[in-house]
Structure 1
Amino acid sequence: MTRRDWHKHNMRIATWNINGLRARLDFMKLWLADRKPNVVGLQELKTPTEDFPHEEFEALGYKALVHGQKSWNGVAILTNVDAELRQVGLPGQEDWGARLITAEIDGGIEFTTVYCPNGKSLQHDDYANKLAWYDSLVAHWSAGDHPKRVLCGDFNIVPTALDGWRGEAGAGTIFYTEDERKRFAAVMDTGLTDLYRHLYPEEQAFSWWDYRGGAFHRKHGLRIDFLLGTQAAVAATREVVIDRDYRKKLDGLTASDHAPVYADLHS
């Protein structure tokens, strides 16, 4: 069996908000060497496309498809299998930054990663913009018809009480509002399933913890980083891991405030 044939039957896909590419580059190298994912959706690069350090990842066997911008936002797809760029940016939402990129991955997966707006607060203009951005995402995603699709990234929404440390007490606050949850439900209603929740319907686990106040050690987190898939992706999923070990400081290097999330697929 050739390497290409192997990857058609076994693939590790991942999502990770790295909170600054320059700050996290050496940390990412440790993770890539350890976990050996085949396809990774990255968010919050905070790096212009032209400044992306391709050679650093090529040395590890990864090609990068990049939609970056200076200081803010930015998304990329790392892959060690063949991939072809399909979409850069969310149509109609270009003013809100580099937040979406899609590639066709060898092995028959259409892979999209997104960095959804934060919204800041219910009183901030960015909150209404966040809801409008989600409406555009639903419209864009609904227009696609690929049978095996993955939509992953930092969604900045806590879908249910189980997904936030405050539980029901969080209801009505930013990330937990009814309007945000309706938008997330609309994304799911396009035919997507939360791969982690599919395997672990009652597990409370988080993917983001504030740097402040010892939130990680106090288990004050949110699950806002998701791997969502169509039924073909769900059927292929064998395991999903929220990689908490890589939210910890390693070798003197500071982690992102988000943990990577990865899934192992077999077809």
Structure 2
Amino acid sequence: MVKIATWNVNSVNARLANMVEWLAEAAPDIVLLQEIKCVDGAFPRLAVEQAGYHVETHGQKSYNGVAILSRQPVEVTRRGLPGDESDEQARYIEGITCGLKVASIYLPNGNPLGTPKFPYKLAWLERLRAHAARLLEGDVPVVLGGDYNVIPEDRDCRNPDEWLGDALFQPESRRAFRALLHLGYYDAFRTLHPEQAGAYTFWDYQGGAFQTDDGIRIDHLLLSPAAADRLEACEIHKAPRGRPKASDHTPIVVTLSD
């Protein structure tokens, strides 16, 4: 069995105690982190290594930043998403570990609409689609995990009307997410829970969103066909969101058979 998690930790140094506690409880083999919000040298490597993980990062001061943690060594195959050499934002890291090719993805938010941030989001999604298609040409199972900043369907949020003017919910964003699935990838959660509503991975800090379960599902694990053939479980671990000093996201974990 291989357990792969994705988690937007919203500043790894601020959430370190929570993260180490969850690592001990859940014992994932691979963890894909987003929004580490630190340069590579400021990542709390020692604490994570003491928890039993190898660490590879693609960091950025104060913003963005992604990482791969693994029980086994990671062979990094890419830092940064191809297709725009001028893009300096640290939003993508990819590597091979545990017999899988995995990527940690922090997709642009895109808000507010009417600014360059939304076209940047859509262009980033198209670059991701092109690269994801190339990954399918290899013979290693692929797992693309991360904070996609896309609400795929109405049932992936508590109150759809609240999101009509948000970049996460725009038809263009959702269409671009579906384009990834049309390549042949599987949304792990929807594959095993096709009818379930009310399953969320993010709750805003404002307005008592977590207490009223006013959430959205924007953290996804997309599996290549070879990985999807091994899919046994996909679970959202809600408890970390309720802890003191929590990230506004919570982990989602897939289990693949050997």
Question: Could you state the TM-score of these two structures normalised by the residue count of structure 2?
Answer: 0.94
Q: Does the 8 Å contact 1:156/1:225 carry over to 2?
A: yes
Q: Does the 8 Å contact 1:161/1:170 carry over to 2?
A: no
Tell me which residue corresponds to 1:181. Answer: 174
Tell me which residue corresponds to 1:105. Answer: 97
The one-letter code sitting in structure 1 at the alignment partner of 2:207 is G
Cα-to-partner distance string for 1:196-254 (whole Å, 9 max, x where unaligned): 110001112000000011001111111000011011211211111111011111xxx31
Tell me which residue corresponds to 1:197. Answer: 190
How far the C-alpha of 1:174 sits from its partner, in A, is 2.3
Aligned pairs (5 A) from 1:1-267: 10-93=1-84, 94-106=86-98, 108-144=99-135, 145-147=137-139, 148-167=141-160, 170-171=163-164, 173-204=166-197, 205-249=199-243, 253-267=244-258
Q: C-alpha separation between the residues in 2 aligned to 1:193 and 1:256?
A: 26
Q: What SS does structure 1 have at the residue aligned with 2:207? A: helix
Q: C-alpha separation between the residues in 1 aligned to 2:160 and 2:220?
A: 18
Q: Does the 8 Å contact 1:40/1:77 carry over to 2?
A: yes
Q: C-alpha separation between the residues in 2 aligned to 1:247 and 1:173?
A: 23
> When you count helix as a share of all residues, which structure comes out higher?
1
Q: How many residues align?
A: 254
Tell me which residue corresponds to 1:6. Answer: none
How far the C-alpha of 1:185 sits from its partner, in A, is 1.1
CA RMSD of aligned residues (A): 1.4
Q: Does the 8 Å contact 1:158/1:224 carry over to 2?
A: yes
Percent identical:
39
Question: Could you state the TM-score of these two structures normalised by the residue count of structure 1?
Answer: 0.91
Q: C-alpha separation between the residues in 2 aligned to 1:109 and 1:184?
A: 22
How far the C-alpha of 1:170 sits from its partner, in A, is 3.8
Q: C-alpha separation between the residues in 2 aligned to 1:194 and 1:226?
A: 7
Q: What SS does structure 1 have at the residue aligned with 2:14? A: helix
Q: What SS does structure 2 have at the residue aligned with 1:118? A: coil
How far the C-alpha of 1:172 sits from its partner, in A, is 5.3
The one-letter code sitting in structure 1 at the alignment partner of 2:176 is R
How far the C-alpha of 1:171 sits from its partner, in A, is 4.2
Q: Does the 8 Å contact 2:13/2:43 carry over to 1?
A: no
Give the unaligned 5+ runs of structure 1.
1-9
How far the C-alpha of 1:169 sits from its partner, in A, is 6.5
Q: What SS does structure 1 have at the residue aligned with 2:83? A: coil
The one-letter code sitting in structure 2 at the alignment partner of 1:232 is A
Q: C-alpha separation between the residues in 2 aligned to 1:165 and 1:116?
A: 22
